[in-house]
Amino acid sequence: MAAFGLDVDQNRYYLAASSPFRIEIRRLDGTFVGDSEEKLIDQNGEDAVVRIGSSEDSLRIGDLILSGEEGEAISHTLIFYEDTNSNQFLDRFDKLIYAGHDGVMVSTVEEKLGSRYFILKRIDRQTVKID
Of 75, 86, 55, nearest in space to 119 by CA: 75
How much is the pLDDT for 81? 96
Q: Which helix (H) or strand (E) holds 66?
A: strand 64-68
Res 20 pLDDT > 60? no
pTM check: above 0.95? no
Instruction: For 75-115, write each residue's pLDDT tens digit.
Output: 888 999 999 988 888 888 899 999 988 999 999 988 888 76
Bridge partners of residue 67, in order along the sequence: 76, 118
Q: Report whether 110 contacts 92 (CB < 8 A).
A: yes
CA 81 to each of CA 42, 94, 114: distance values in angstroms, whole numbers, following the listed order: 22, 8, 17
Q: Report whether 89 contacts 38 (CB < 8 A).
A: yes
Instruction: For 31-89, write each residue's pLDDT tens digit.
Output: 767 666 556 766 665 667 888 988 888 999 999 988 877 677 788 889 999 999 888 88
Of 83, 92, 44, nearest in space to 60 by CA: 83
If DSSP codes are grouped into helix, strand and coil, which group holds residue 110?
A: helix
